[in-house]
A and B are shown apart, each in its own frame.
Chain A
Amino acid sequence: MHMYDVGRDAVLRRALAERPALWAYSLGLTRNPQQAEDLFQESHVVICGKWQQLRPDQPFLAWAFTIIRLTWLASLHDKHRRMAPLKDEVLERCVQEAVDDEEGPQGDRLARLRACLEQLTPRARSALDLRYAQGLDCSRIAQRLTMGVKALYQLLSRSRVMLEDCVRRTGTT
């Protein structure tokens, strides 16, 4: 295999392995799953195109976060959206520190999350699925689940906190 391909493949593999952190950062910037998905994908196109700009001594996540941030800023400029409420570097620290805090490979965490998801009620699972897999907005989900928007927020929040606790608990046992 040519050296070019080796370097490019390594960067793309790294991007693949770090996709939860990259998506988390995208979501932090946009605070909207649909927009986060768009930003995540657009940024990946840039990462694929500019892989050679990643220096060997440069941390991958910091480099990728910069690309995501610049892509986001470009889209803000295009569409006149309002800025994110947090400074980019604050958000970057939040995600980076949470990534550093995690134990074990990402695959283990996802397996634990999958198991913990099974412990939620079917209604909570549906709400999470509609919000974070299908990207529907809360008013539509509330309508579909025949519940109030406020109750839906509480359901989503409780479910997420429970999942976080469960994933951490099962990770330490």
Chain B
Amino acid sequence: MSDDQVLIERFLDNALSEADSAALQERLMAEPDLRLALGRALLTLAGLREVLQAQQRQRSKRVRRALAGGPAFRITFLRVAAAVLLVLLPLAWWQLGRSSPQVPDASPELATSHGIDGDLLAMDEAAQLEYLRQQAGQQRHEPLSATLLAPETTGDTALLFRHQAAAGLVRAAIVQGRVVDLLLAEETRSLALIQAGQEPALRQAAQTLAGQFASERQAGQVRLLAFRILPRGTPRDQALILISLNEDLQGRNRL
């Protein structure tokens, strides 16, 4: 990077001392090229703002249309879901059949309070698998309420509803192997991010947890991880953890 670029960067970052500012001003008055460089830098940032904000609006619109069930997006979702199912389901069922560690601190009461069947936690792995197979196809996730999930709906209550919707979708996807629901949960994530963006520390914690999950590299662990984390923390914590978990799952499925 040239010295002039460094100077412009420091100006844009509001990091110039008084002396540096005076020197820059002198040079700007005398050097048309430097004036042009600074003007272009400012215009590029203005253009970026336009383009990025337009893309953001587009994304919000896409999420709303997807939640409202636009046919084009449904087809896209189903295509992606079919591809994901082909990769994920064999792995998931294989993993479910293996012995896995007990979950030490997710009590049945807590699990139940979050809509997870508490009895399931007490079962051994084989019994869990059998139970899940019995449940498959019998459970249906609750339909998302477009109003509650709309970005205009703000506040903790709205976040709680979003969390519950995301949790419900993840649970349904885990129990039924309906990966398409996870994709919808990914869209829910986008909306939840509106709130979550205010909490970088919590998000960091959630990413750390998801990182541990990623290192296991077994899609079947999604279920166990969900059991471990859902009963913990505030609704906001849980929403953030679910967000990261979904992100990780989405990331792996794209690999």
Contacts and interface: CB of A to CB of B under 8 A. Distances in A.
Interface in A130-171: 132-134, 136, 138, 140, 143-144, 146, 153, 157-158, 160-161, 163-164, 167
A45 to B, nearest CB: 19
B75 interface: no
Contact of B1 (A113, A161, A163): A161
A113 B36 contact: no
A97 B204 CA distance: 43
A95 interface: yes
A31 B13 contact: yes
Interface centre among B21, B24, B41 (most CB of A within 10 A): B41
Contacts of B35: 90, 93-94, 97-98
A31 B12 contact: yes
- Give the contact-size bracket for chain A: 35 or more
B39 A161 contact: no
Contacts of B109: none
Contacts of A96: 39
Interface string A92-126: 01111111011000000110011001000000000
Contact of A31 (B14, B49, B201): B14
Contacts of A97: 32, 35-36, 39
Interface string B41-69: 11111111111110110000000000000
Given A90-B28, A132-B49, A167-B44, A98 B36 contact: yes
A110 B45 contact: no
B9 interface: yes
B73 interface: no
A93 to B, nearest CB: 6
Contacts of B200: 140, 143-144
B48 A128 contact: yes
A113 B46 contact: no
B24, B32, B48, B201 interface centre (most CB from chain A within 10 Å): B48
B204 A21 contact: no
Given A95-B42, A101-B36, A153 B47 contact: no
Interface stretch (A1-9, A22-30, A47-55, A70-78): A22-30
Contacts of B13: 31, 138, 153
Given A20-B50, A90-B28, A161-B5, A113 B21 contact: no
Given A87-B25, A94-B35, A144-B203, A160 B41 contact: yes
Nearest to B39: A98
B11 interface: yes
B42 A109 contact: no
Contacts of B39: 24, 93-99, 101
A129 interface: yes
B207 interface: yes
Contacts of B133: none
Contacts of A114: 51
B197 interface: yes
Nearest to B48: A132
A164 B11 contact: no
A20 B47 contact: yes
B255 interface: no
A143 B204 contact: yes
A30 to B, nearest CB: 8
Interface of B: 1, 5, 9, 11-14, 16, 18, 21, 24-25, 28-29, 32, 35-36, 38-53, 55-56, 197, 200-201, 203-204, 207
